[in-house]
Amino acid sequence: MYGWATGYPKWMRPGNPAETPSVAEVVRRATSLCDPDGADDLVSDFLLAYEDRDEPVTALEGRDREFFEVAERVQGSLPGASVQMAAAVATYLAFRRDGPPDDDANLLRLAARAEFGENAPEDVTAWLQDAGVAV
């Protein structure tokens, strides 16, 4: 079916970019979940840092702390549980592309557990509880 006429060798199937979200799409999803009203300036700044990143999230392989490094740079000395959770959700979505849950609360819970384990910082735990998520 494939062949040199299609531009691909017979042993190589063409990729489907529609299946792999971009870095910006992952961050957009994470920030919309962690700040649905768009009222948190830190989350908005986090989103702004990634607005032009249209490469696929697979380009982040080996750089699994990138979202947290940007979150720390954005929040500076300000407390930012919402931006920390946006980084956790973005990381979860970037590296667990096998069908993330549709349920927002479950996605927040899974991202928090993946990032913090049983020892989430107190401000993150309080933020999750305010969001109605049992950790």
Between 66 and 7, residue with greater pLDDT: 66
Residue 18 confidence (pLDDT): 56
The answer, yes or no, to whether residue 95 has pLDDT greater than 80, is yes
Give the percent of the chain with pLDDT over 70: 84
The answer, yes or no, to whether residue 17 has pLDDT greater than 80, is no
Rounded to 5 degrees, φ, ψ at 22 are -80, 165
Which distant-in-sequence residues (6+ apart) come within 8 Å of 12 by Cβ?
2
Residue type for 23, please? Answer: V
Overall pTM surpassing 0.85 (yes/no):
no
∠ CA 101-104-109, nearest 5°, is 80
Give the pLDDT mean for 3-24: 60
